[in-house]
Every structure is written in structure tokens, then in C-alpha cells.
Amino acid sequence: MDHSAETSTFEDFENRPLKKAKNYESSVLDDPLTSPSISASSMISDLQINGDPLASPPSTTNSTSSTVSEIMKEEKASAAPSPLSRSRSGSHRSSPPACSCHSPNLSSLTNSLLPSLADKSTGLTTAVSWIRANLATPATNVTLLLAGNEILPSPDPNLILSLLPAMRRLAQALKSEGFPSIRVSTPHYLGILAPSDGIPTNATFRAGYNTKLFPSMPQFHRETKPPFMVNPYPYFSYNPQTLNYTLFRPNARIYDPATKLNYTSMFEAQMDAIYTAMVKLGYGDVEVAIGEAGWPTQAEADQVGVGVKEAQDFNEGMLRVCSSGKGTPLMPNRTFETYLFSLFDENQKPGPVDERHFGLFNPDFTPVYDLRLLTDGKGSV
């Protein structure tokens, strides 16, 4: 197969689509323990569905860091257009209040809270206060706490530098408050990888990230045991020629000459690219999880590859990889903790048509297409 026809499976940092800025934050201020939630079916042991999040705007702080400034310069120097990345202009969205739990075991904090949590003198107290206000109840079933969402592409150096210290404060506070089983992680967009040709073993973290921000982040995951979370979106990297490869349909496959492995889906290639980048830093033992992924059912009228059947094919294929125990070519015989985007369509979201149509369910909880997510394993809802 001519691999040049299907080059990069990874997003271009400079032309990141609007969808990728999504955050795990509710648009209404709810008690995280009373917000609607969905349990996974027996078919998917570690699958949950993300709710109705909107992005938090970047902080307006003027603080700078030579480390982050160096990273940003290196990114500019190394950035190359990704042939399979679609570029479209983003739009600003209003900041929602507080956070909301979108599943029986996941809760999250807004990006804007991270600097206060990272503060050396008051961060731990702030973390304890948040936990007591949001998690300290007998009814809590949270097992995973997300510190913001997709922080690293932020133009705010202070926010980027706050991420890991905030995660450490949260982990300390959870332990001191009697929640040692609640893990702390943060979802990353796939742009943490350097632009590549789509061959998984050629993947590496971006210049600067691989020396200045990583490996301290994977080290935290190794020490505290939460998964390293990424938000892979093959939807934002496909074109008509690679549609079958993206939707888990029969295709010519991608061959990795270094491992002599064949890839039949872009999703598996993206996951193994993350794994490869981790291995190159010495952290192949850290678990990888999917923070969010999905496929829309509607888009612009002339866009090929978007519809109910395409969305169902993608999500069913992803679930086979993540929940069946099949794993990926470089991570075989394992399952992956996975969160689908999105529970409902978001009819008031600005931007392109597809932004509003990632929902799996109608407002009355009838499925847009059936992935058997609401069954109890015996066929009943």
C-alpha cells in the first residue's frame, strides 16, 4: 500500500478544530451527585458517556515562564501541516459555572480552578475544600477525578504550569480526606504528539513536551496509578480516501515496518502512537485511557462520511477495541477505560453543524442509534 496516501493520523497543533477544545464542564450548576448519569452495559465494562460539556476560556493572566515559552517556540519551529487534519476557525464560548459529574464514577474540575489548586501555600487547602463540597457524601461513587481538560494547548503559560502541581494537590487532599481509591488524571488532546506520518512507531511527544513537561507527568501516573488519558478523534483527521480506515470498515491497512504490524483502523494507530511516545520516555507501564471520543451524525450537507451509520460504525469499532480484551497491535489482550462523547446533541452550541450532533441519545433517552448502552445485560433498561 502507498502509505503516502494516508499520512498523519495526528492533529496539527496550529490548526486544532473547535471540537477538540471541549471541556468536561456542565453548562448548569448542578450537584455532581444528582446530575443524570448512565451506567455501562455488560458489553462494555469500563465505558461511560460524557455529558454536556463546554469549554472554559483561557486565563487572562500575564505571568510567563521561560520553560513554557521555550516549548511554544519549539512547537512553532517544528509544527508542520497535517495532511489528514481539517482546519477550521474556532469560536469563543462562555465559561460555564463549576463542574458536574457526567457518569457514576467520573467528576471534573474547571480549567480555571487549576492555578488556585497549584498554589504552594494554599493549594492543598483549596483542594480539601473542593473535595468536601463536591465529593464528601456517603452517596458518592466517584472513582476518577479530572483536573481540567486539554490544558497543554492553552496560550496561558501559568495554566500549563499549574496542571501537574494541581493534580498532586488533589491526590494529596483525596488521601487525607479518606478517598484513596479516587484517582486523579487529566485528558490530553492528541496534539501532544509531534506531527508524524501516521506510522505508530514513528510517534513521539512534541519538542519541548518530551523533555520539559514530560516525563514528570507520566511519573505522576506511575506513582499514583491513574490512567494517562487522551482524547483521540479520528473524525478530525479523516478524508474521503481514509474513511474506511477511520470507521473500522474493510480497508487496505497501514503497515508499520518497525514492528511488522498491520493497522486496520486509525483509532488503533492513534492509541499505539501514544503508547510508543510513552515507551520512548520509559513509561510503557502506565495505563492509557480514552477521555472522550465520538463521531457526529450530522454535518455540512456536502460532507462525506457523516451520518447515523457512520457514527454507529465508529463507536462500535472503538468499543470492540476497548472493551473486548482484543486491545491494539502494540497493547494486545487488554481493555481500556473509555468515555464516549456525547450523551445528547447540543443544539445551542456555536460553530459548525457537526459540533451539535455527537449525541448518542434523544432527550427522552431513546437511542439515536443502538449501542446497547442502557441495558442491564438482560435486555432491559
Residues identified as active-site:
150, 292
Contact (CB, 8 A) for 74 and 117: no
The Cα–Cα gap between 209 and 193 comes to: 9
Antiparallel, parallel or unpaired: β 261-263 and 254-256: antiparallel
Question: Which H helix or E strand runs over 210?
Answer: none
Contacts of residue 73, Cβ cutoff 8 Å, sequence gap at least 6: none
- Cell readout for 338 is 473509555
Contacts of residue 308, Cβ cutoff 8 Å, sequence gap at least 6: 297, 368, 369
Amino acid at 242: T
Exposure letters 322-357 (e unless 16+ CB within 10 A, then b) = bbeeebbbbbeeebbbbbbbbbbbbeebebbebbbb
- CA triple 99-216-130, angle to 5 deg: 25
The Cα–Cα gap between 114 and 116 comes to: 5
- Cell readout for 49 is 458517556
